[in-house]
Structure 1
Amino acid sequence: MTEYSEIAARLAALPDAELASVLHAATAGRPAFWAVRAALEEMAGVAHATSTGDVSPATESAQAHDQAVDGGASGQVGTASAVPVVPVHPAGIPASPATGGYSSGGVPTFESVRDKVEQRFGTAQGMGELDRQTPAGRSADEQWEAREKAARERLDQIRKSVHGNDNP
């Protein structure tokens, strides 16, 4: 058997709940697999396929995996498996409610929306500050101030003329 077919055979031998837990743990922290993760959570119920974090099994160095396996005269791989053990967490341990800013149903979380709004607001503020530092921006600010001053003066004139007509 090849390494991949051995992994597939071991996964196929697992009961559905354990397989869902293994796949759920393997896709944790991988935004590209959000649809797989959401389908697993929907299929098994969120409480059945939960994990507390990313999968980080203790693995051997890359050299150990790249070495040729001595299969002996028959060409069979030994009984020891090169596949690291994947921890399967017991049911009932709450998982993070969202991965990549989306809930299991594909709806953006409040935190991700708030972060996007804050980022866009900060970007807009920064762009405004940079625009005011350019010659065109300074000119626009000077024009705005001149218009504000003219508007205040005209408003004062109107108030004086209205108050002047009120006194007999």
Structure 2
Amino acid sequence: MSELSEIAAKLAALSDDELVAVLHAATAGRTAFWAVNSALGEMAAVHHAELVDDVSPATAPSPTHDSPGAGGVSGQVGSGFTVPVVPGQPTGMPGRPGIGGYSSAGVPTFESVRDKVEQRFGTAQGMGELDRQTPAGRSADEQWEAREKAARERLDRIRKSLHGNDTDNS
């Protein structure tokens, strides 16, 4: 328990920018904290928080990365300003429903899939009804009914012959 209180005391002694950088580095790669990490990333971009040396020693902070007159500018359009970080949702995480029937990760929502299936079913039903209204459709229905009637009559004769009732002369 004393280790936790020591860590809490050290975190409390940090400035806001340093605390944002430490928490951002601590939540990186943890799928359960993706929302916290995204929010901390936005805060770091807004406040230009520098990374603390003991948090990420392999990354050297660059104090001139946001300055518009930095040396080596290629003259491209928009090279003088930074684009804010757009947090992406890790794979395997449930997403918020998006606009247009897709989640923010690009996966179709259940409601949009259900609506598409219902629309296709309705279209297929309507096409069937329209087909039956044409002369060719009516002819096919009449042929089907004639075959069904002939099949029933043949089945009745077969049943009568199996029961010995075919000797009846009516």
TM-score (norm 1): 0.42
Looking at CA atoms only, which structure, 1 or 2, has the larger radius of gyration? 2
